[in-house]
Amino acid sequence: MGHVTTPSRPGRLVRPTTAVRASYLAGERADCLAEGAPMDRIDRAGRDFGAYVSQLRGTQIRWEVPCTFFWYVSGEHYLGTLVIRHRLTPELAEAGGHIGYHVVAPWRRQGHATKMLAAGLVECARLGLGLSRVLLTCAHDNEASRLVILANGGVPDGRSRGEDRFWIPLSGLDPVS
């Protein structure tokens, strides 16, 4: 992806969109390569990006629960993904939680995750899931994620399966704006 600077426009949380195709595929492919993760999902997305986006725009069943996906974008730049899990299974209650997010490598350490999570909390309220608070977890050694969660009002609630747990209240959020 080369040298990447701060996007010219502020990031915003949107439902998946074909408008960021090249940036999405490049960012997710680079992350898979860096992490040694399988490329199957990215390869499938690249073959028919429109169908991939259409699928993600609907409510998905992942981790055995309904989920809503969002992308954090700035203009034509895809910066990351946020997923809202509508309820918790016993496994997600230990590790995983209601919200998962990631920022692709070129855009990390620029404050995007903090803003993305703040917008995701508003979306939780907007979705009308009846949640008064949401659970987020992160690896105990993931200081960056811990700081993002704390900056968004996370209240520590111990550790389970190697993940630190945090609850964030949804009260006081304006789901209309």
Residue 16 sits in a domain whose CATH number is 3.40.630.30
Encode pLDDT of 57-104 as tens digits.
Answer: 988 899 999 999 999 999 999 999 999 999 999 999 999 999 999 999
pLDDT confidence of 3, banded at 50, 70, 90? very low
Q: What is the mean pLDDT of the segment spanning 28-56? A: 94
Q: Which residues pair with 78 in a beta bridge?
A: 73
Q: What percentage of the chain reaches a pLDDT higher than 90?
A: 86
Has residue 6 been placed in a domain? no
Has residue 1 been placed in a domain? no
Q: Which pLDDT belongs to residue 51?
A: 95
Has residue 4 been placed in a domain? no
Q: Is pLDDT of 165 > 70?
A: yes
Give the pair of three-digit tokens for residue 25: 């595929």
Has residue 138 been placed in a domain? yes
Has residue 146 been placed in a domain? yes
125 sits in which H/E element? helix 112-126
Q: Going along the chain, which residue ranges are E strands?
A: 12-14, 60-62, 65-74, 77-85, 99-103, 133-139, 155-160, 163-169
Tally of structural domains, the chain? 1
Structural domain boundaries enclosing 127: 12-169
pTM as predicted: 0.91
Q: Of 121, 174, 176, 125, nearest to 152 (Cα)?
A: 121
Has residue 36 been placed in a domain? yes
